[in-house]
Amino acid sequence: MVRPAPQPVPGVVRPTPSNARLAKKPTLETVWEWLSAIPDPEIPVITLTDLGIIRDVQWQGDTLEVTVTPTYSGCPATSIINLDIETALRGHGIEKLTLKRQLSPAWTTDWLTDAGRAKLEEYGIAPPQPAGGPQHCPHCKSTLVEKISQFGSTPCKAQWRCQSCREPFDYFKCI
């Protein structure tokens, strides 16, 4: 039995054969575009660039260096994030790659892009607010919300509930 070729999956870059080489170095703008397609492994509705954890991309000779600041130093998704970055870039033909971990300055929720905040809310996760709690329910927009637990589905989120629509929702903690 012959199986059909797998169909492309949006956001997933398949590796190129190991003997495929880039004709020339891609521009940094192109590399940033590639990186902007990599979803966060814990909240796949936003990308690593939406999250603001990719701090810098530069060529050091013929080696591409990508600087990553994890959301916090003990983030359990850090190794998966690095693997996803490496897989995506190698899939685009990058052979020489260095991933640099930068802990200072520490990541804050201020680094989330406006697009990332909007994507979180559209997905049903209240984006971080300086006041320390959601402004409104991401489902019905009611301001009558209450905290259920400081701990949510991931360490960076808390569990809240809307008193109007009664739906629970995650709140992305302000860090």
Model confidence at 16: pLDDT above 50? no
Report DSSP letters for 158-170, one per residue: EEEEETTT--EEE
Residue 1: which pLDDT band, with cuts at 50, 70 and 90? Answer: very low
Could you read off the pLDDT of 50-81 as tens digits, one per residue?
A: 999 999 999 999 999 999 999 888 888 899 99
- For residue 104 the two structure tokens come to 């200072």
Domains for the chain: give ranges and CATH numbers: 25-101 (3.30.300.130), 112-172 (no CATH)
170 φ/ψ angles, rounded to the nearest 5 degrees: -85, 145
Q: How many CA atoms lie within 13 A of 70 on its CB side?
A: 19
pTM for the predicted model, two decimal places:
0.80
**CA 151 and chain centroid, separation:** 20
Least confident span in 21-35, 96-110, 134-148: 21-35
Residue with tokens 């320390």: 132
Could you read off the pLDDT of 35-58 as tens digits, one per residue?
A: 999 999 989 999 999 999 999 999
Report the distance separating Cα 60 and Cα 28, nearest Å: 12
What are the beta bridge partners of residue 158?
171
Q: Other C-beta atoms within 10 Å of 10: how many?
A: 6
Could you read off the pLDDT of 88-128 as tens digits, one per residue?
A: 999 999 999 999 999 999 999 999 999 999 999 999 999 99
Report percent pLDDT > 70 for the chain: 87
Alpha-carbon dihedral sign for residues 56, 153, 72, 100: negative
Model confidence at 130: pLDDT above 60? yes
> Radius of gyration (Cα) for the chain, nearest Å?
19
pLDDT at residue 74 in the model? 82
Q: Tell whether omega for the bond before 134 is within 30 degrees of 0, i.e. cis.
A: no
